[in-house]
Structure 1
Amino acid sequence: MIQWVLEENDQLICCIVEYQNKGQANECTQYQHVLHRNFIYLATITDNSDLIPSLLKST
């Protein structure tokens, strides 16, 4: 799951950069929201460090 979120973040960042380079910053808002949600998710599981060993086994 963690690897999937990291890969999704990579794709989201690429899309955001592409829209910004085209001068269409307003178009990337939805991607920024998903990226923010993913960051919050990753921060939450990091805060719950007792969960990390079991999460890493599932990736």
Structure 2
Amino acid sequence: MFFLLLTPRSLARIQTRLLATIAGLFKSEYVTERLRKAQTPEAIIEAIRAGQQVALD
């Protein structure tokens, strides 16, 4: 699994924050399993949203 982030050089700080967020999502076995099983773009987005919610709880 990979993620491609395209950000302007002037926004390097945002790219770093995005990478940190992605790394945090992968700490959750629940999220990684949902991402592996996702078969549509919508399922991927839902898995990421669920991971963000789990991180907030």
TM-score calculated relative to the size of structure 1: 0.47
Higher helix share: 1
Structure with bigger RCO (C-alpha 8 Å, 6+ apart): 1
Rg larger in structure: 1
TM-score calculated relative to the size of structure 2: 0.49
